[in-house]
Amino acid sequence: MTEPEVYDKVMTMKEAISKFVHDNDILGIGACANNIPYSAVHEIIRQKKRNLHAVQPTSMFEIDMMANAGCLREVSFSWSIRMFTGVRGIDRAISEFGIKVNDYTNYTCALALMAGAYHMPFLPCTESVYQTDIYNWANEGMFARIQNPFSKEGKPPITLVQAINPDVAIVHVQRIDKKGNAQAWGALGTVRHTAMASKHVIVSAEEIVDEEIIKRSPNQTIIPSFYVDAVINEPWGAHPTEVLGCYDFDRIIVGQYILASGTLALFEKWASEWIYGLENREEYVKYYIHKFGFDALNRLRAKTLLSTPYNIGSTFQTEMQKLNIKLEDIELNPELVELEIETGKEV
């Protein structure tokens, strides 16, 4: 009998990216405009991963950043933020460096990932796509038309979108336990399907919590542990985008990035300061405080507004739950337990 291979999933972002992200991979970015795993994106740029194919329906600056840094060969997306037409890294990458664009809509890209997550080859999508140039201009392998095998005669064919299964997904959540049960709240976008569709999942979290805390609100778990390959304790890991209950959108960095994305030279300057010049997220936060002051960071911190607890109790309680004693309490204070051998009842 061989022991199953047990390894610690908790690691640094550097280890996780070098272990699970490889050149030519399909990279699923499991975020729709909030909780964006910028810590992972920065590390991918720092480790100079090349020829990646990024998949994400709605993108803020992460695809733009990777395009600027030359990490991408292909993107599958539907929308990316723009401030001024034609000055984004993604525009340059498309028009000058010829990266391939698979232009989806939010729904069809989300469906492609959903099909991937449910291990279906494709899913039916909408007629509105067929009626537009999203369908007419689509690259091979995105959409198809078939006759609905269940429909009566005379019904028009239906449009299908092919599944996408990324090689690796990067995700940022509010909390996770050491096993890898990831909990997030707020608008979920496509994060679950992106993670479940991928072969490997890297999850960074604002905090690593006790398993007991996860078990107290099980409906909050969006990715169960067996999907997760790497668990990274990364406070401020989604900065400068927001994480509900943790911090808000940071206009300083975003404003600087938008301007820096104007030309490649400006981007290089920006990146050498905020990506290449820093070792990890901890240094990034330290540098931010050094540069803009602690107050600038504190201004973003969320005020506390707790959710209402709900009863998850059953008809029984363990002795530990009754007395509200935890295992580590017993470790610290063994006198909390008194074991006695029962006598006079030998079997």
Partner 1 sequence: MGKIKAKISYDEVMCSVASREIRDHEVVFVGQGIPLLAAMLALKAEKRVTLVMEGGIIGCVPYRPPIHIADCTAFTGVECCCEMVDMFGMFLMGGKIDVGFLGTSQIDKWGNLNTSFTKDPRVSFRGRIAGSGGANEIAGFSKRLIILLHHGKFIEKLFYRTSPGWLEGGTSRQDADLPGGPSALITLDGVFRFEEDTKEMYLDSIFPGKTVEEIKAKVPWDLKINPDLTVAPLPTYEEVLMMRRFSPNISLGRLRWAATQTDELRRLSTKNIELTEKYDILDALSTSRMRKAPATENLWPIDELPPPE
Please give the residues from 26 up to 65 whose contact with partner 1 meets the rule CB under 8 A: 32-34, 57-58, 60
Nearest to 57 by CA among 84, 36, 76: 76
Footprint of partner 1 on 247-266 (CB under 8 A): 248-249, 251-252, 255-256, 259-260, 262-263, 266
Nearest approach in angstroms of CB 25 to partner 1 is 23
Nearest approach in angstroms of CB 224 to partner 1 is 16
**Residue 292 is a binding residue for partner 1 (CB under 8 A):** yes
Stretch that binds partner 1, among 19-27, 126-134, 161-169, 204-212 (CB under 8 A): 126-134
Footprint of partner 1 on 173-202 (CB under 8 A): 185-193
Nearest approach in angstroms of CB 69 to partner 1 is 17
Nearest approach in angstroms of CB 56 to partner 1 is 11
Tokens, residue 247: 């911090």
Among 10, 144, 208, 296, binds partner 1 (CB under 8 A): 296
Residues binding partner 1: what is the number (CB under 8 A)? 75
**Residue 86 is a binding residue for partner 1 (CB under 8 A):** yes
**Residue 105 is a binding residue for partner 1 (CB under 8 A):** yes
**Residue 137 is a binding residue for partner 1 (CB under 8 A):** yes
Stretch that binds partner 1, among 3-11, 243-251, 323-331, 338-346 (CB under 8 A): 243-251
Q: 3-state DSSP call for residue 214?
A: helix
Contact assessment for residue 187 and residue 245, using Cβ atoms and an 8 Å cutoff: no
The residue assigned the tokens 């795993």 is: 37
50/155 with CB nearer partner 1: 155
From residue 274, give the alpha-carbon distance in Å to each of 195, 269, 291: 27, 9, 11
**Residue 77 is a binding residue for partner 1 (CB under 8 A):** yes
Among 15, 127, 207, 328, binds partner 1 (CB under 8 A): 127
DSSP conformational letter for 208: E
Q: Which amino acid is residue 188, in one-letter code? A: L
**Residue 226 is a binding residue for partner 1 (CB under 8 A):** no
Burial (CB < 10 A; 0-12, 13-18, 19+), residue 229, is buried
Q: Which residues contact 145 (CB under 8 A, 6 or more apart)?
A: 130, 157, 158, 159, 160
Contact assessment for residue 13 and residue 204, using Cβ atoms and an 8 Å cutoff: yes
**Residue 132 is a binding residue for partner 1 (CB under 8 A):** yes
Burial (CB < 10 A; 0-12, 13-18, 19+), residue 305, is exposed
Stretch that binds partner 1, among 4-12, 171-179, 295-303, 324-332 (CB under 8 A): 295-303
12/165 with CB nearer partner 1: 165
Q: Which residues contact 243 (CB under 8 A, 6 or more apart)?
A: 34, 35, 172, 174, 186, 206
Contact assessment for residue 45 and residue 16, using Cβ atoms and an 8 Å cutoff: no
Nearest approach in angstroms of CB 318 to partner 1 is 32
Give the Cα-Cα-Cα angle 198, 207, 53 (nearest 5 degrees): 25
Footprint of partner 1 on 306-345 (CB under 8 A): none
**Residue 213 is a binding residue for partner 1 (CB under 8 A):** no
**Residue 239 is a binding residue for partner 1 (CB under 8 A):** no
Among 50, 100, 119, 299, binds partner 1 (CB under 8 A): 299
Stretch that binds partner 1, among 16-24, 101-109, 319-327, 330-338 (CB under 8 A): 101-109
Tokens, residue 313: 């109790």
Helix or strand (DSSP H, E) at 117 = helix 106-117
Nearest approach in angstroms of CB 4 to partner 1 is 33
Nearest approach in angstroms of CB 73 to partner 1 is 16
Among 15, 120, 139, 156, binds partner 1 (CB under 8 A): 156
Nearest to 204 by CA among 227, 254, 170: 170
φ and ψ at residue 112, rounded to 5 degrees: -60, -40
